[in-house]
Structure 1
Amino acid sequence: MAELYEIWQRAEASRRLDVLSGFIAMCVAGDDDARRRLAQLVAGADTALSASPPDLVVASEYLDELVWWADTDWTEHPYRPVEARPDEADRQTRDYAKDLRHAALPVCVRDEMGRIELSLEVRFPALCRQPGLDCRVRQDIFYVAGRAAMTLDLGHLEAAEREIRRMEQVGSVEPQESRCS
């Protein structure tokens, strides 16, 4: 689990680095000195994040420098990125973490994950489109599909397949008249 936490922390820092460096790069497009400074800051942060284990303290120092630079020079810029709300930041970080975790896996495991993910992407909407599906059953399908997606994110292929089978069992419950409004 320590490896997953490390990937999550690295993903959070990488997400912030990408957003800030992209914004600053746009703002300093014609200034060679500023572009060199930006390249040094980004390279320093990337080096810290690529270390094993990642040096999050050093990466944070580089990120703080980028934040300070953006706050000092472009506070009122209409496209100045703002910190995402916690739920949105977590969604974005989850995407980064999935990419980092995915890149570290062997090809055969990635292929198997792709097969399971495709199965989930096909079965989930098919189950939700069943006519006369009870609202609670639909909610249970959403819940179990979320669990299957989470287990895939964690790389637990057997658990993901088990959750997909469970989702299909939940969806095969006899349709009833909906009681949800």
Structure 2
Amino acid sequence: MAGLYEIWRLAEVSRRLDVLSGFVAMCAAKDDAARRRLTRLVADADAALSASPPDVPAASAHLDELVRWADTEWADHPYRPVEARPEEADRQTRDYAKDLRRAALPVHVRNEMGRVELSLEVRFLALCRRSGMDCRIRQDVFYVAGRAAMALDLGHLEAAEHEVRRMEQVGSAEARESRRG
């Protein structure tokens, strides 16, 4: 299985390629030569990304050519996508990476992750519905639920299960405190 850094790079190129190729397709809709050029660029980039192992530098080169073309032809177009701010680009790339990472896992692991994800959601919602929960405990529940979700995003089943158990412990501690108070 590819490492997280390789998956991140693959996701970043895929995200940028998807956004810009959609824009260029809209602009080139009536120009046969432009549509052929776009088809060639996207097909070559997709082939590089789909290779085993993925050839991210080659896909990046095709993306760079697409960027130069869009900058030359449609730089002032009102709908030209601008590069996302770093935090937004990372959030979008994380969504792509999460899907790529999950797709690379064996089916039985994905099924088990689905079970843990459902368990996390049910327990989290049950804890959030408790009335009179201390604000500090509620923050702890959100924090631990976020860690469990992150572990699932990374495909780390053992860490996700650990965080779900930890969230239950936080909820149990809150229940004990409320009975004493």
TM-score clears 0.5? yes
**1:1-181 to 2 correspondences below 5 Å:** 3-174=3-174
Question: Counterparts of 2:88 and 2:168 in 1: how far apart (Å)?
Answer: 29
Q: Counterpart of 2:134 in structure 1: which amino acid?
A: D
Deviates more, 1:19-28 or 1:48-57: 48-57
Give the aligned CA root-mean-square deviation in angstroms.
1.9
Give distance in 1, aligned partners of 2:27 and 2:129: 47
**Cα displacement (A) at 1:126:** 2.3
Alpha-carbon distance in 2 for matches of 1:28, 1:172? 59
Shift of 1:3: 1.6
Q: CA deviation at 1:148?
A: 0.6
TM-score by length of 1: 0.89
Structure 1 residue identity aligned to 2:19: V
Once the 2 structures are TM-superposed, how far is the Cα of residue 52 of structure 1 from its aligned partner? Answer: 2.9
**Deviations 1:54-99 (Å, cap 9, x if unpaired)?**
2222211111111111112112222211111222212211111121
Partner letter of residue 122 of structure 1?
V
Shift of 1:26: 0.9
Gaps of 5+ in 1: none
1:27 Cα offset (Å): 0.9
Letter in 1 for 2:131: P
**How much identity, in percent, do the aligned residues show?**
78
Q: Is the 8 A contact 1:10 1:49 kept in 2?
A: yes
Letter in 1 for 2:87: D
Displacement, 1:2? Answer: 5.9
The one-letter code of the counterpart of 1:105 is L
- Distance across 2 between alignment mates of 1:120 and 1:85: 31
Encode CA deviations 1:37-65: one digit per residue, 9 max, x unaligned. 00111111112222233222221111111
Higher mean displacement: 166-175 or 66-75: 166-175
Instruction: Tell me, in whole angstroms, the C-alpha distance in 2 between the residues paired with 1:105 and 1:144.
Output: 24
> Is the contact made by 1:6 and 1:53 (CA closer than 8 Å) also made in structure 2?
no
